[in-house]
Chain A
Amino acid sequence: GAVVSQHPSRVICKSGTSVKIECRSLDFQATTMFWYRQFPKQSLMLMATSNEGSKATYEQGVEKDKFLINHASLTLSTLTVTSAHPEDSSFYICSAPILASNEQFFGPGTRLTVL
């Protein structure tokens, strides 16, 4: 099946710093990628839809200036958490659909801990 990678898998940072998370589709092109956040024992919460060549679409309540998304190519989307605070600590997961398929392929996730 298709593969989506995420880097880093785990990051610990100090409050106030910025963290960049990369999501790559390894063997297919993804014009669209989704960024999710998941708090412990809760379901996935869609943060934004990343579109190659255009601006990301953010869900209600998600600050676009805090969560910067750049879909630089057909295989790479990045999420930058700017000026991270402890409440931003969460599991961040990206996914990419294959247009000819009904599946969405998920990256392995990034565990962010802000001290």
Chain B
Amino acid sequence: GQNIDQPTEMTATEGAIVQINCTYQTSGFNGLFWYQQHAGEAPTFLSYNVLDGLEEKGRFSSFLSRSKGYSYLLLKELQMKDSASYLCAVRDEYSNYQLIWGAGTKLIIKP
């Protein structure tokens, strides 16, 4: 079956670094996405990985290991506005643009 796991909730301190992990088991793989979602709003795109390795984009980086079915989102220099849910999603190669979603990780930033 299709399964994506990520922690339910994490807490971090303003200015620090936090790593949000995601493991997946899917029938196919055609890319992994990270989205940020603030309460009551739609998700916004953060990153996309299809090859192994680290993709860096400003304060946010995303890593992928396809052999391990594992990804993480790294957030540096945390700001209060980073308090949100972070959703991991995998695109199944057999359903072109459909995404399989994790339940999301609620990140709480404390001063």
By a beta-carbon cutoff of 8 Å, the part of chain A in contact with chain B is 32, 34, 42-46, 49, 91, 93, 95, 97, 102-109, 111
User: For the complex, would chain A's binding face be called helix, strand, loop or mixed by DSSP majority?
Assistant: strand
- Shortest A42–chain B CB gap in Å is 7
By a beta-carbon cutoff of 8 Å, the part of chain B in contact with chain A is 31, 33, 40-45, 48, 50, 87, 97-99, 101-104
Chain A residues near B40: list those with CB within 8 A: 91, 109, 111
CB distance A106 to B103 under 8 Å? no
Most interface-central of B42, B101, B102 (chain A CB within 10 A)? B42
- Shortest B53–chain A CB gap in Å is 16
Chain B residues near A46: list those with CB within 8 A: 98-99, 101
Residue of B whose beta carbon sits closest to that of A105: B45
